[in-house]
């Protein structure tokens, strides 16, 4: 597969008069394949937004090579419009014109692109049809975020950048949003998202990169991150009113043995592997201890 995004040795240092220099991105290498959903996970201040803003062409860098759809966003050589036409961006927070309606806002943004999607279809895709003529100031936080996504996709982008797209969503809105993102992937869009939510990365991403202190700790599928698939399984059950548990490489065998002991159903049996959240917190925690 072709790489939609390729990054080598990316580095960004912020000069801060009060606190001195801050290395926000400290030598990042990344490949995002065409058509994949790639998530960048990391705690506050890890360098996620800085990285994404450099890829979007909104921030310069101090070192490294960057290619997004074959162009260097820091040196577009006059190809700005051609390149921007293929990029969709949903920033962490947007301030839309409060008095425009949803339809007016989407149509307005559509004019920036050479070959925009049909505004009505885009509004329907983000589930805002019944708000088509509502003014932006009357929308809820979740509805505004969906409008942000509408503005990100109205140009029919090849790559969509989403910076913490579902912050502040209720669980149902989050799930609806995930379905929208999966549909965009099926239609061929490459998606790079940053998130604090482990369940979001697990539900959406083909691969995740965990970053901390401007460095990548690991890139893997959500199932494999931190050796998750090879971690011991926890088998837990109730016996004589007490919770029992063991950690094992062969849970099937253990459960079969237990079933024999109990002569049938094992009370309150649970077999589990570490969650993505547990693995992630261990990775971040280990780094903080060793830093």
Which residues are near ligand ATP by CB under 6 A?
A: 14, 16, 22, 24, 42, 44-50
CA–CA dist 202, 193 (Å, integer):
12
Burial class (CB in 10 A: 0-12, 13-18, 19+), 155: buried
Shortest Å, Cβ 56 to ligand ATP: 12
> Quick one: 6 or 22, whose CB is closer to ligand ATP?
22
Shortest Å, Cβ 19 to ligand ATP: 8
Shortest Å, Cβ 32 to ligand ATP: 17
Please tell me what DSSP assigns to residue 118: P
Laid out side by side, the sheet with 63-68 consists of: 20-33, 3-16, 63-68
> Quick one: 19 or 95, whose CB is closer to ligand ATP?
19
> Comparing C-alpha atoms, which of 154, 11, 7 is closest to residue 90?
154
Q: Check the CA dihedral 222-228-233-237 and report its sign.
A: negative
> Quick one: 26 or 104, whose CB is closer to ligand ATP?
26
Shortest Å, Cβ 74 to ligand ATP: 16
Q: Beta-carbon neighbour count of residue 195 at 10 Å?
A: 22
> Quick one: 42 or 222, whose CB is closer to ligand ATP?
42
Which 3 state secondary structure label does DSSP give 9? strand
Shortest Å, Cβ 11 to ligand ATP: 12
> Quick one: 128 or 160, whose CB is closer to ligand ATP?
160
Shortest Å, Cβ 53 to ligand ATP: 8
Beta bridge partners of 243: 238
Q: Which residues contact 13 (CB under 8 A, 6 or more apart)?
A: 21, 22, 23, 24, 62
> Quick one: 44 or 95, whose CB is closer to ligand ATP?
44
């Amino acid at each position: 597969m072709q790489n939609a995004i390729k990054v080598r040795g990316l580095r960004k240092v912020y000069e801060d008069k009060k606190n001195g220099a801050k290395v926000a991105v400290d030598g990042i290498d990344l490949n995002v394949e065409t058509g994949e959903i790639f998530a960048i996970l990391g705690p506050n201040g890890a360098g996620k937004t800085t990285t994404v803003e450099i890829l979007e062409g909104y921030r310069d860098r101090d070192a490294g090579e960057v290619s997004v759809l074959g162009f260097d966003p820091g040196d577009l050589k006059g190809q700005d419009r051609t390149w921007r036409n293929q990029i969709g961006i949903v920033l962490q927070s947007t301030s839309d014109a409060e008095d425009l309606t949803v339809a007016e806002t989407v149509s307005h943004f559509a004019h920036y692109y050479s070959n925009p999607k049909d505004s009505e279809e885009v509004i329907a895709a983000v589930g805002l049809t019944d708000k088509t003529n509502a003014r932006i100031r009357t929308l809820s936080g979740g509805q505004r975020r969906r409008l942000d996504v509408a503005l990100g996709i109205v140009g029919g982008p090849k790559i969509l950048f989403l910076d913490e797209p579902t912050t502040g969503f209720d669980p149902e809105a989050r799930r609806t949003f995930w379905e929208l993102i999966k549909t965009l992937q099926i239609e061929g869009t490459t998606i790079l998202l940053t998130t604090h939510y482990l369940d979001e990365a697990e539900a959406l991403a083909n691969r995740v990169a965990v970053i901390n202190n401007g460095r990548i700790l690991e890139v893997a599928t959500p199932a494999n991150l931190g050796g998750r698939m090879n971690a011991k399984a926890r088998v837990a059950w109730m016996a004589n009113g007490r919770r029992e548990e063991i950690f094992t490489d062969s849970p099937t065998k253990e459960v079969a043995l237990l079933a024999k002991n109990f002569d049938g159903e094992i009370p309150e049996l649970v077999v589990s592997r570490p969650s993505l959240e547990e693995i992630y917190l261990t990775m971040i925690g280990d780094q903080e201890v060793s830093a």
